[in-house]
Amino acid sequence: MKHSNKKLKALSLLEVLITLFIISISMVAALNVVIRSGTLIKDNEIQDTVNDLVLQTYELIRSSDLLAVSGTNVMTDLNVVNSVTSFRVRYQNNPIRGYLEKTTQPFTSCDLNSEYNYQLPPNLGSNLAYPVCLKVDIEKLDTVRYEVTISVRYSTTTNPANLDTYVLTRFGEFIEI
């Protein structure tokens, strides 16, 4: 019993090339979607971290406890009405507690070496792999009210120069450490 191969037709070179072209276009489109989704995930991670840090700072400032501050002439500066004093957020050990450290550095850019680069509390391990710079400005409005402005700079893949600002009022005293 012999089979006749004359009835079977092979694919031509042109058909094979067209099929390979369609497959390669599909692969390029799929790769583009994967790359774009990776950058979106990274941007969302950075934005979530920024929101977390701003919330922690907000809770530190709005606490009913005395807010700890440090720096040269810090209490004198905080008691001058309509005068703005700038701080960065820091943490002390035993117990882990946030405080504000006075600074006079300009807040123009953000990188890992910036004075304003956010340092995580010691119980949370190593610091962030990307810079998130946070500055707190405090202005005394009257005998009991302070206007607090939280400014945060960070970079994402879609915007390398984000600057978000939040304003709140603090009713409470400060303690120098």
Q: Over 70: is that where the pLDDT of 69 sits?
A: yes
State yes or no: pLDDT of 73 exceeds 80.
yes
**What is the pLDDT at residue 126?**
64
Does 1 score more than 60 pLDDT?
Answer: no
Q: Where would I find the beta strands (DSSP E) of 9-161? A: 67-70, 84-92, 97-102, 132-140, 145-154
DSSP string of 64-86, one letter each residue: SSPEEEESTTHHHHHTSBT-EEE
Q: What average pLDDT does range 145-160 have in this prediction?
A: 91
15-33 pLDDT per residue, tens = 888 989 999 999 998 898 8
Say how far apart CA 60 and CA 70 lie, in whole Å: 15
Nearest Cα to Cα of residue 90 among 112, 60, 62: 60
Give 5's pLDDT tier (boundaries 50, 70, 90). Answer: low
Given a contact cutoff of 8 angstroms between Cβ atoms, the answer to whether 120 and 127 are in contact is: yes
